[in-house]
Amino acid sequence: MRLYNLAFALLVATVLTGCNDTLDTAKVDLSTVKNKVQQPLPNSILAEMQKRDMPRNSPIMIRILKEEGKLEIWKAKADNRFEVIKSYDICAWSGKLGPKVKEGDRQAPEGFYNLSPANLNPNSKYYLAINTGFPNRYDQANGRYGTNLMIHGACSSSGCYSMTDEQILEIYAFARDAFKGGQTSVQLQALPFRMTAENMARYRDNPNFDFWKMLKVGYDNFEVTKRPPEVAVCDKKYVFNQQVDGKISAATAACPSMSTPPALVSALSTYNKTYEVAYAKALDKLDGKVWYEPSEAERKAVVAAKRKGRDLAYAPTGTSLEAGKLMSQAEFQAFMEKKMAAAEAKPATTVLASAEIRPSTPADRMKQGRLPMTTGTTPAAPAATATAPAPTVVTAEGKATTVPIPEQNPLAYAAPPVSVESAKKPFWKFWSKD
């Protein structure tokens, strides 16, 4: 059995808890905010935008990098190219690297999503929220499903990307101002990590690698142009910046004849040559090495001290880079054997925590008041649950630690996102024929 399969089999059984760690908290006294929906961006950000020749209402793009626990706001300059104007430490994301596949898997979405003004939720239970738009056409074509996947406040997640309230106040304002400026669709790029040669080499044996290679095409297009790529779905695949002969009839239909614009082909050719050299060097560097991707519980254990003095709902989990570790194959084998032994010693705790704290089906979660009911129905009374003991995990350093698990919060937003199509293409998407 391959080492990675050994790790994967164990980690599927590992108890998952929590959301991601916030160091970059926006400095705003929420008690002074009279209208959170219309709260202006801080003067320091407005000054930086002016310095960089970014109109206040120019378009934005949001990029999420799970492994680093970063949410970046990219904003268009007067020359129509995008630059990062603000980067935030995500406070909470649940699960592990990899896409969301089904309701209740506690995975946060990965992919390319379009956010319209209808995706903004000013009445969220988590201060403010932005619906990610999951499932999009790609997700639906591939049988992936789930509801109410948000970027929201409160620092607690069950499949969402959760920020602090101070951070979501700013992120919401960035999107609001861009929509006021006429942007009809904000692109959200939710990625597992920066898709550099070394990172791709590190995860070359991951079962999600083929999916990530597909996302990397869009990532590369953006890196080369610094403009959000045109995204389409056909043959159950993402395609980026393609000139299409005719129309794409459906996400599941075969792709029509299409081509990449010559200028983009040239730019990507140079980019890819550099990447291939870097990838070969990364393989040499990682020869005989195994990257251990931590579980959510292990990420949470790394930053457990950040929860002291706070409400249990505040659940930072730390980044995968903080809790993960690069090991030799011998070290990895010994480490995994130790973890498996620890897991076998406490099977009852794992099952109890999983069953009682995180009900696995939508029906179970609805009974416990964790899924919003549809309009016109009467919510069922929450089912009584016993208090489960906190699970014990072994960290990447081999130390046993008890990880507290907060009660899940109800999801933030029940209404499905509304797609807004614009007949006129955004000005920065200059690769299209028209």
Measured torsion, CA atoms of residues 390, 393, 396, 400, in degrees rounded to the nearest 10: 90
Distance CA 245, CA 189 (A): 26
Catalytic residue among 19, 152, 155, 234: 152
Nearest to 35 by CA among 186, 161, 173, 130: 173
Catalytic residue among 19, 91, 155, 160: 160
Is 255 tagged catalytic? no
**Do residues 223 and 207 make contact, with C-beta atoms less than 8 angstroms apart?**
no
Is 234 tagged catalytic? no
SS (H, E, C) the chain: CCHHHHHHHHHHHCCCCCCCCCCCCCCCCHHHCCCCCCCCCCHHHHHHHHHCCCCCCCCEEEEEECCCCEEEEEEECCCCCEEEEEEEECCEECCCCCCCCCCCCCCCCCEEEEECHHHEECCCCCCCEEECCCCCHHHHHCCCCCCCCEEECCCCCCCCEECCHHHHHHHHHHHHHHHHCCCCCEEEEEECCCCCHHHHHHCCCCCCHHHHHHHHHHHHHHHHHCCCCCEEEECCEEEECCEECCCCCCCCCCCCCEECCHHHHHHHHHHHHHHHHHHHHHHHHCCCEEEECCCHHHHHHHCHHHHCCCCCCCCCCCCHHHHCEEEEHHHHHHHHHHHHHHHHHCHHHHHHHHHHHCCCCHHHHHHCCCCCCCCCCCCCCCCCCCCCCCCEEECCCCCEEECCCCCCCCCCCCCCCCCCCCCCCCCCCCCCCC
Q: Which residues are catalytic?
A: 152, 160
